[in-house]
Amino acid sequence: MKEYQTITEISGPLVFAEVDEPIGYDEIVEIETPQGDTLRGQVLESSEGLVSIQVFEGTGGIDRNASVRFLGETMKMPVTEDLLGRVLDGSGNPIDGGPDIVPEEREDIVGAAINPYSREYPEEFIQTGVSAIDGMNTLVRGQKLPIFSGSGLPHNDLALQIARQATVPEEEESEEGGSEFAVIFGAMGITAEEANEFMDDFERTGALERSVVFMNLADDPAVERTVTPRMALTTAEYLAFEKGYHVLVILTDMTNYCEALREIGAAREEVPGRRGYPGYMYTDLAQLYERAGRIEGREGSVTQIPILTMPGDDDTHPIPDLTGYITEGQIMMDRDLNSQGIEPPINVSPSLSRLMDDGIGEGLTRGDHADVKDQLFAAYAEGKDLRDLVNIVGREALSETDNKYLDFADRFEEEFVQQGNDTNRTIDETLEIGWDLLSMLPKEQLNRIDEDLIEEHYREEEGETVEATAD
Amino acid sequence: MSQAQDTETVREDGVIESVSGPVVTAADLDARMNDVVYVGDEGLMGEVIEIEGNLTTIQVYEETSGVGPGEPVENTGEPLSVDLGPGMLDSIYDGVQRPLDVLEQKMGSAFLDRGVDAPGIDLEKTWEFSPEVSEGETVEPGDVVGTVPETVTIEHKVMVPPDYEGGEVVAIEEGSFSVEETVAELSSGEEITMHQEWPVRQARPAGDKKTPTDPLVTGQRIQDGLFPLAKGGTAAIPGPFGSGKTVTQQQLAKWSDADIVVYIGCGERGNEMTEVIEDFPELPDPQTGNPLMARTCLIANTSNMPVAARESCIYTGITIAEYYRDMGYDVALMADSTSRWAEAMREISSRLEEMPGEEGYPAYLAAALSEFYERAGLFELFNGGEGSISVVGAVSPPGGDFSEPVTQNTLRIVKTFWALDADLAEKRHFPSINWNESYSLYSQQLDPWYRENVAQDYPEIRQWAVDVLDEEAELQEIVQLVGKDALPEDQQLTLEVSRYIREAWLQQDAFNDTDTYCEPEKTYRMLQAIKTFNDEAFNALEAGVPVEEIGSVDAAPQLNRMGVAEEWNEFIDDLEDSLEEQIRELY
């Protein structure tokens, strides 16, 4: 292996070096500084005689005399089942003081695309115990469902709650612990405090045993953030498709990841796309998010819950926008609900689960699930529309039915969405609450529900008692 | 994808000079623009996109990790082409027409490996050929010489390729042949096989374009009822994420009455394509009852597959569509999503350091879009028949903002515009096509067909619905200020009627077995039932019945059940009777 002391330019996270042999694109590089530190990087562009290298740990300390070694291979992640229970840094090195990792295999972190022909369509219901998700925007095994949040909203609590409670009810009884998820946690640029919060919870609930944690903290090098999720997903794919685990991957915070992409793009003097983010960000994000799913004939699955904070709560910002076009729906956190004390503050209307329709119904959840969900959505939307109006004309000017819708919307937030971070509701409980609320409305208003189901579940008394509060 | 067999045209090889993502430059390569080349030791497929001095720029259709300068580049001397012949239906391809099922076998893995190639159609499989012409007859390019049963639904027509001279048939025989065996010989010395190759970036020639007069019946009420698309027409479906673009596209692929459907998943989700692969073989074609896959060709280049192949998948798809059009079929092509295609162009363009146009898109974006959509149309064929291609392109505008370049350039070309609306989607009103913003410029030319095949007064009742919805939009503005009860009674009634038009008629449940497909007659009858309610209600109002009483007759909410009613004819007849009876009882 040749060593070069030929650095010609250092700029931001990039180092340019002259070489006299061909170097492969994406190859891994080690740079030894005069102080004796070894930094790692990756070839971003390779041309005859000159390569540009992106250094993960930042270029501090590198000078013209630093020596550059090309390892002749692309970035690999050492994977083994023993990774479960371990805490690693953003580049995959153990930081929990435990023994070195003895890899069973070393996998390329730029995963190959799953052949769409080999995929199996995800349709196994995951019960998260959160009504706003299970009832209205159901998660299924193999789905990628991000949480769209904002700064200062409790998205971490929600992610932890899901990681703690997620089970597949069907399998709960049949296999011993068979439905528990292995959790891969990839942190990108989160604060040490947030990291502690996650670690404490993992330790408190014993979840750490079945988790692999990748930590890139806010003061770790930004460029490293571009490899952290790839490390995490490579581990997830190995555990899922080689070892048969059902893996839940939580990536937080994707916004920091995209910032890192932008930083590298700017340093390379690329033509920027929208808001300065690189034009290939869609492709880049897709290469992460699409690494979720099921494969025909394999036991395991990869389910992804990426978290991103929307700058200015704006869902048209390029990060949430591009994410939403790739992922199979989104869970939207809402600032108003949060200030009302609703826990978790999920706004179900702009939330969506694209894979829901095949994951619910008779034999999966319950036969009335789809109809109840449709009706709850429609009624809640109607109630919210009326809120705008009531501010102008007052409640007296509205009809009796309209008043019922207003009450419905309030109770929907206070009883259905609100549940607290420690409450684990079964899908039956969730749907029963749904029926309690729908029974506030006159029967003939329930036009999304099959008439037989209304006969079966509609609570006659409820309709009477609530009428009194309409004035 | 076509493998180059023509060894004599192979030109001099070059060496890689630099690599940056999907863009590779090579030195000393003797190549023409758009030639297909094999890059590096692994032989990754690529296409020449720029030639400057001694340097040739190549876009590579596969991942380039680990590829370095000094590795060889081999030129095939041929442009990017597709294999055309029997076996394309019931197949699923990637963006350069490699069959994904064959790739899975060859790679022995569920993950897509690099450097593996496979022909677009099975070259070994034999097909039963029956001649349509006999020896001594003269054939010209485009003429059908025989047929092959390709699937249970589709008869594949073997044609004289458009670049042949034609002549007298000197030998033709019935029997079992592979696609590469000669089935007919011409006096010109030309031999006809079932296999043709065609460069994807070049439209297949056809005769004149004609004005389409038949609708592409989609089985979707808002589309058939308000904004119809013609067979041979073009439509765009723009919408922000979550507004139902994909479901709308899939509904069209499932239920529209085209002979052939080419479905392109361009830069979209893997699971979505899997859903199509799993569902379509199970679902019956509403026209024939055979599995939908028997008339469908799928092209899947998901968002994590290489970006250059995303750029080419649109061309691969339209070329296959043109081939079936040449056989005289009505082809419907769905492209989901054209924005990803445009973004792929942008990505490649920026790696080439081209001067960007609006929002970083290349300056040739508008030209590329219009070139693509112009390949749609109702064509007179060289063999005297007619064939059509209808193109439906989904557009994914960033942030749902329709003023962005891809949406705007698309709107300048297409004649049907189905605007998806995030607000409707939030209310779970599906399909979330906004009736105030959408339009179809085909309505007028399709009216005669509707009058003849559905009902004489179809255009009139449609206009009635449009008027009511327009009036509602105006009234809603007032309601937002003063509340509904402040409106005069007749306007309140209009709101009630328009609510039924929206909820009972425009809304359609794609996941309900009955409601998912609505034949034009049912679409018409449902609207007629709402009109009956309207007429009866206004009569009652005139007679002095309060609007609240009219609205609360028992039969009225039954209007919402029309969509899911299986015996819809009886259901609607009964409903109209009871509406009439119950409302007349009030006065």
At residue A171, the pLDDT reads 65
pLDDT of the residue at A460:
82
DSSP reduced 3-state for A418: coil
Residue B510 pLDDT greater than 50, yes or no: yes
> What was the pLDDT predicted at B72?
92
What is the mean pLDDT of the segment spanning A229-252?
A: 94
- Quote the strand ranges of A218-338, DSSP E: 246-252, 293-295, 301-309, 329-332
Domain with CATH 3.40.50.12240 in chain A: 77-359
Instruction: Label residue A40 by pLDDT band (50, 70, 90).
Output: confident
Phi-psi region of A111 (alpha: psi -120 to 50; beta: other; left: phi over 0): beta
Angle, helices B338-351 vs A281-289, to 10°: value is 120
pLDDT over 70 at A173, yes or no? no
For residue A371, the chain B residues in CB contact (below 8 A) are: none
Contact across the interface for A273 and B360, Cβ inside 8 Å: yes
> In a mutagenesis test of the B interface, which of A14, A27, A141, A282 is the best target, namely the one with the most B β-carbons within 10 Å?
A282
Cα separation, B292 vs B281, in Å, equals: 6
Lookup: tokens for A163: 């990681």
Assigned fold of A77-359: Rossmann fold (3.40.50)
Q: Mention the CATH class of domain A3-73.
A: mainly beta
Give the pLDDT band (50/70/90) at residue B148.
very high
Please give the mean pLDDT across all residues of chain A. 89
pLDDT given for residue A466 in this prediction: 44
DSSP B127: E
A62 with A97: CB under 8 angstroms? no
Residue of A nearest to B350 (CA): A271
In this predicted structure, what is the pLDDT of residue A168? 86
For A282, the token pair is 């869609």
Contact B399 A24 (CB under 8 A): no
Scanning every residue of chain B, which has its alpha carbon at the shortest distance from the alpha carbon of A72? B66
Residue A250's pLDDT is 94
Q: Is the pLDDT of residue B108 over 60?
A: yes
The answer to whether the CB atoms of A272 and B360 lie below 8 A apart is yes
Q: Indicate where chain A has its CATH 2.40.10.170 domain(s).
A: 3-73
Report the residue of chain A nearest B114, measured CA to CA: A112
Query: Measured at the alpha carbon of residue B549, what is the angle toward residues B544 and B550, in degrees to the nearest 5?
Result: 75
Residue B274 and residue A121: Cβ atoms within 8 Å?
A: yes
Give the pLDDT score at A220: 87
The per-residue pLDDT for A207 is 86
Mean pLDDT of chain B: 91
In chain B, residues with a C-beta closer than 8 Å to the C-beta of A402 are: 484
The order of strands in the sheet holding B126-131 is: B155-159, B144-149, B126-131, B175-178
**Apex A400 CA angle, A396 and A405, nearest 5:** 100
Give the nearest partner residue to A279 out of B107, B340, B346, using CB atoms: B346
B251 vs B418: CA distance, rounded Å: 14
Residues of B in contact with A378 (CB under 8 A): 427-428
Three-state DSSP class for residue B85: coil
Dig out the tokens for A422 from the structure: 């420690």
* Residue numbers of A between 432 and 451 with CB closer than 8 Å to B: 444, 447, 451
The least confident of A262-271, A293-302, B94-103, B326-335 is: A262-271
Q: How far is A101 from chain B (nearest CA, A)?
A: 26
Percentage, residues of chain B above pLDDT 90? 68
Does residue A213 contact residue A185 with C-beta atoms inside 8 Å? yes
Amino acid residing at A401: T
Cβ burial, residue B101 (10 Å; 0-12/13-18/19+): middle
Tell me what ipTM this predicted complex has: 0.86
Q: Which amino acid is at B190?
A: E
Q: Where residue A280 falls among pLDDT bands split at 50, 70, 90?
A: confident
Contact B214, B446 (CB under 8 A): yes
Is the pLDDT at A464 greater than 50? The verdict is: no
pLDDT at B252: 93
Q: How far is CA B68 from CA A41, A100, A162, B21, in A?
A: 17, 33, 44, 11
Q: What percent of chain B has pLDDT over 70?
A: 98
Residue A45 main-chain phi, psi, to 5 deg = -150, 135
CB B439 within 8 A of CB B227: yes
Q: Where are the alpha helices (DSSP H) in B441-488?
A: 443-453, 458-482
Predicted confidence at residue B4, as pLDDT, reads 43
Arithmetic mean of pLDDT, B229-249:
92
Q: Show the tokens assigned to B136.
A: 């001594």
Provide DSSP, B185-247: EETTS-EEES-EEEETTSPPP-S-EE---SB---S-HIIIIIS--BTT-EEEEE--TTSSHHH
Q: Cα B12 to the chain's mean position, in Å?
A: 40
**Beta bridge pairs of residue B186:** B169
pLDDT at B2 over 80: no
B331 - beta bridge partners? B260, B389
**Cα–Cα dist B36/B295, whole Å:** 30
CB proximity list for B24: less than 8 A, separation 6 or greater: B16, B18, B39, B46, B57, B58, B59, B60, B64, B67, B73
B21 and A280 within 8 Å at the Cβ level: the answer is yes
Least confident of A302-316, A383-397, B124-138: A383-397
| pLDDT reported for residue B151 | 92
pLDDT above 90 for B192:
yes
Opening angle at CA A425, ends A295 and A309, nearest 5:
65
- Show contacts of A174-182: CB within 8 Å, 24+ apart: A179/A246, A180/A210, A180/A246, A181/A210, A181/A245, A181/A246, A181/A247, A181/A248, A181/A303, A182/A84, A182/A210, A182/A211, A182/A212, A182/A239, A182/A245, A182/A246, A182/A247, A182/A248
Report the 10 Å Cβ neighbour count for A178: 12
Tell me the three state secondary structure of residue B358: helix
Task: Specify whether the CB–CB gap between A15 and A59 falls below 8 A.
Answer: yes
State the count of interchain CB pairs (< 8 A) between A and B.
223
Task: Reply yes or no: is the peptide bond before residue A344 cis, omega within 30 of 0.
Answer: yes
Q: What is the mean pLDDT of residues B330-346?
A: 92
Residues A161, A344 contacting (CB under 8 angstroms): yes
Q: Is the pLDDT of residue B8 over 90?
A: no
Tell me the H-state helices in A238-311: 254-267, 281-289
Q: Which amino acid is at B184?
A: A
Question: pTM for this structure?
Answer: 0.90
End-to-end CA distance of chain A: 83
Contact call for residues A4 and A18 (beta carbons, < 8 A): yes
Residues near B535 by Cβ (< 8 Å), separated by ≥ 6?
Answer: none
Give the closest of B66, B272, B278 to A27, CB-based. B66
Backbone angles phi, psi at B439, to 5 degrees: -155, 165
Beta-bridge partner residues of A27:
A74
Q: Are B82 and A107 in contact (CB under 8 A)?
A: no
Residues B395-424, mean pLDDT to the nearest whole number:
92
Are B125 and B179 spatial neighbours (Cβ–Cβ below 8 Å)?
yes
Is 70 exceeded by the pLDDT of residue A469?
A: no
What are A348-384's pLDDT values in tens digits? Answer: 999 999 999 888 988 889 999 999 999 999 999 999 9
pLDDT at residue A59 greater than cutoff 90: no
The CA distances from residue A1 to A73, A86, B509, in Å, are: 12, 32, 63
Check A116 against B92: CB less than 8 A apart.
yes
Whether the predicted pLDDT of A172 surpasses 60: no
Scan for tokens 């891994």, then name that residue: A28
Find residues 167-196 of chain A whose CB sits inside 8 Å of chain B: none
For residue B294 the two structure tokens come to 């028997």
Tell me: the pLDDT tens digits for B52-83? 989 999 988 888 888 888 899 999 888 989 99
Pairwise CB contact (< 8 Å): B110 & A115: yes
* Best CA proximity match to A423, nearest among A338, A335, A307, A342: A342
Q: Which residue type is seen at A20? A: D
